[in-house]
Structures are given as structure tokens and as C-alpha cells.
Amino acid sequence: MNISDSEHGRRTPRGCEPKSKSEPQSPSAPVTQMEFARAGRITAAMRAVAEREQRDVEFIRERVADGRIAIPANVVHLAKGLAPVGVGEGLSTKVNVNLGISGDRADAAEEWRKVGIAQDNGADAIMDLSNAGKTQAFRRDLIAKTPLMVGTVPMYDAIGYLEKPLVELTGDDLLRVVRTHAEDGVDFLTIHAGINRRVVETFKQTGRLMNIVSRGGSLLFGWMEVTGAENPFYERFDEVLEICHEFDVTISLGDSCRPGCLYDANDATETAEMIELGKLTRRAWDAGVQVMVEGPGHMAIDEIAATVKMQKRLCHNAPFYVLGPLVCDVGVGYDHITAAIGGAISASAGADFLCYVTPAEHLCLPDADDVLDGLIATRIAAHAADIAKGVPGARDADARMAQARRKLDWEAMWPAALDPATARARFEASPAATEGTCTMCGKMCAVRTVNKVLEGTTIDLDAS
């Protein structure tokens, strides 16, 4: 879907005049999806989201206006073919795939294979976490070629892009990188603005088992400790907002102090940062900038639901974007499973956006197979949560699968599966002797037996 600047809202579509004079009004012409929604004006992006989510467009507009739904849609990417997606309250749970060029494995061709897997297997977003050398060419190509929303972490890119040591970076340098990513068309930027001097002091006073495990958070912590200065993203947050407003970039407020192990979950440091993120959320909304808030991390199962509810309360029901959480620390090599368990619980409790975790987490850069495994595991978690949340249409594919299984109609099963190619390949690799069955049960297939009874045909079971 290619939504032009005019469709994005440069002119008011017929019949989309402001609906309520009591809603907040921008002092100037609307630029962002939030500002159009507050002015009562429905954009093509809002209509696209409403159609996809089987929701009335007014349902979408109202929640975009008050921040409960974000539509990350940079005006540059919209012009290049972005298919707008909504993240937030009452919508299906979205799934993100991380990829990007690493200094140790700088293989652009492999990253493009991962992009193809993401697009072909139901991802909603791609985060380009490239951190080696000049990353702009890959980022620009990605935005030009993918209809999925794209996110980045400017802090990762700053050292390579500016060719400066960490301690020599200035606030001007970091804002320059933010602007570059916005100009390139990035739809959401992870900005680690919550780790300010107050949060750092809490961290030092209370301590943690795993300290700070966020890459962006650790870089900023190191910079602050060496320079003695305040976090530039916090100190100059209003300037960050001006850049994001200009291009309608959604700010994803980074969780610098997310727990890296079960022991650190819900500690003073994480909570202190979450309070700061709630304050920053309000400031962004006051500037007409859309917000998502990032969350944990590692967390025991019995803590997840309460944490989601607390985050939603402290951050004013802004969309919540979580990494897992991983429900144990010992699932190394299988962390796509530990994260999917936590993801299903967190999304069913109200989280809106799941960042996938692959089997390679904590071990190495994931390869293409890892990306597929992580994506499907996370999509299963998101789908299970959508069923629990009563998202419109969430059960439709499950009903189609059940009908196809009842009829032993294998060809009808594949389109209902989250990963049709893998399902078909596994079935065809082990052909059954009895037509219509699989090698698990063969002639003793329960579905086949009951079908034959109900049809009045012979049950052909014997000892052979």
C-alpha cells in the first residue's frame, strides 16, 4: 500500500472534517497522526488500520488522539509504500523482528534473507540494529523496499556513523544521528531518554545482579559516568521531539534498565526508570508526537501481569512494547521458547507489541533459520494472547483449522497454519500408508474413526 503525502493528511479528505471542538487542537496545521486524530480528521493510515483490525475507524481515531494507539508511519516511508499498522489498545498484538549488520558478521546478503523471512512470515515490523560501519545505505534500502514499519536505535549507529569514540560524542552529535534516521524514513526510534542522573543514582545505591544489559542504556551510562554530564536524550528531549514531530516519527521510549535476569525484575532501578518514562510520555504527547514504551526483559511468570498493569498505569496507557519477557534464565539455546511463554502472558495482560527472541539470544548473531524460529514462536504467543483478549477475528483461523482437521482436508489446513511451509514439509516427509492420515496414528486416527462411524461406513481396523 502506497499512501501519498496528500492521503496522509496534507489536505482534508471529503467527509473527514473535525468531529468535536472539545478535542485538543494543534496551534498550527496538523502533521502527525496524533494531531490529525485530535483535530477529528481521519487519515488514510487510520482507515487502513481500521480495515485490518476489523474496527470502526472512529475507534482508531479516538485512541490515536489520546495516545492509546500509535501508528508508526514516517511521512517519508509512507511515500515509499509503507503499509500502516496500528499498535495499542484493542488491536491485534504486533510482532517485531530484529536484524542488522554486525561488526563480527558483516554479511548484508544474510540480513536481506532475514528481511525476506520477516515479510513472508507475518512480521509487522523490522528493527534495523546495524552497528558496524556506515549503516545508512542498508537502512535506506530497507525503507525503500519493505512495506513493514521500520525501527532503529540511533545510539547504536552514532559511533560508526560519526566515526568518534563514545566519550567524544556530544549532544549535538546524537541529535544529528536522530535527524538522519528520521530523514531516511524510520517509523519508530528507540530513544533511551529515561536513564537520567536520578535513575543512575538509584542504580548505584541499590545495585543489581546483572547491572545494565541494554546496549543503548549501557553506552549512555558509560558516557554519563565518564563525562559527568546528563543524558543528552533526556536533557534535550524537546529537541528530539521537534525532529520526530517534523517527520511523524513515533518515539519508542527505550528501557535502558530492563532486567537482564529474574533477580533484577521489578527492582528499584527498573521502577525508577519507568516513572521517568511516564513523564516523558506526557511531554511527547503534549508535542503531538506518538509514543510506545519499551519493557522487560527477564521476569518470573507470576510477576508479568502485574508489571504490565503497573507500566500501563505509570505510562498513561501508551502502547507497551516488550522483549519477551524471558521467564527463566537457563533456557539458553531455546530462548525463543522462554520468551514466547512470557510474551503470551504479557500480551494477554495488555502488552501490545512483542519483540521476537531467537534461539541464538545470549549466544550469537542469529542466522536465517533462527529468525524464522523466533518469529513463528513469537507469532504463536501473540496469537494466543489475541484469542485471550477477544481481538476481533482472532479465532477465525483456528476455526478454519478445526474444520479442515475434522474433514482430514490437509490442503485446507496449510493456509490456516502460522507457518504453512514447515507444516506441509513435515507432513510430506513422512507419508502414511493409509490415505488421509498421518504416521502418528495411521488407521487408528481418531478423527477418521469417528467420521466413518458417523458416515455409517466400515471401520477397517485390524492387526496388520
Look at residue 157 in the predicted model and tell me its pLDDT: 87
pTM of the model: 0.91
88: left (phi over 0), alpha (psi -120 to 50) or beta: left
Look at residue 133 in the predicted model and tell me its pLDDT: 67
- Of residues 319, 325, 273, 316, the one with CA closest to residue 292: 319
Which tens digits make up the pLDDT trace of 55-94?
Answer: 999 999 999 999 999 999 999 999 999 999 999 999 999 9
Look at residue 27 in the predicted model and tell me its pLDDT: 56
Looking at residues 376-390, what average pLDDT do you find? 98
CB atoms within 10 A of CB 156: 21
pLDDT of residue 419 exceeding 90: yes
Mapping DSSP onto H, E and C, the string for the chain reads CCCCHHHHHHCCCCCCCCCCCCCCCCCCCCCCHHHHHHCCCCCHHHHHHHHHHCCCHHHHHHHHHHCCEECCCCHHHHHHCCCCCCEECCCCCEEEEEECCCCCCCCHHHHHHHHHHHHHCCCCEEEECCCCCCCHHHHHHHHHHCCCEEEECHHHHHHHHHCCCHHHCCHHHHHHHHHHHHHHCCCEEEECCCCCHHHHHHHHHHCCCCCCCCHHHHHHHHHHHHHCCCCHHHHCHHHHHHHHHHHCCEEEECCCCCCCCHHHCCCHHHHHHHHHHHHHHHHHHHCCCCEEEEECCECCHHHHHHHHHHHHHHCCCCCEEEECCECCCCCCCCHHHHHHHHHHHHHHCCCCEEECCCCCCCCCCCCHHHHHHHHHHHHHHHHHHHHHHCCCCCCHHHHHHHHHHHCCCHHHHHHHCCCHHHHHHHHHCCCCCCCCCCCCCHHHCHHHHHHHHHHCCCCCCCCC
What residue ranges do the domains of the chain occupy? 5-80, 92-389, 396-455
Which tens digits make up the pLDDT trace of 230-255?
Answer: 999 999 999 999 999 999 999 999 99
Distance CA 199, CA 278 (A): 13
pLDDT of residue 369 exceeding 50: yes
Q: Which amino acid is at 104?
A: D
What are the two backbone dihedrals, phi and then psi, of residue 24, each rounded to the nearest 5 degrees?
A: -55, 135
pLDDT of residue 331 exceeding 70: yes
Instruction: Give the chain's end-to-end CA distance (angstroms, integer).
Output: 57
Look at residue 461 in the predicted model and tell me its pLDDT: 74
Pick the CATH number of 92-389 from 3.50.30.30, 3.20.20.540, 1.10.540.10, 3.30.70.1090: 3.20.20.540
pLDDT of residue 218 exceeding 90: yes
Percent of the chain exceeding pLDDT 70 equals 93
Looking at residues 163-192, what average pLDDT do you find? 95
- Sequence-distant (≥ 6) Cβ neighbours of residue 264 within 8 angstroms: 208, 209, 210, 270, 298
Look at residue 462 in the predicted model and tell me its pLDDT: 67
**Furthest C-alpha separation in the chain:** 83
Look at residue 368 in the predicted model and tell me its pLDDT: 96
In the predicted model, what is the mean pLDDT of the chain? 92
What are the two backbone dihedrals, phi and then psi, of residue 293, each rounded to the nearest 5 degrees?
A: -120, 130
pLDDT of residue 198 exceeding 80: yes
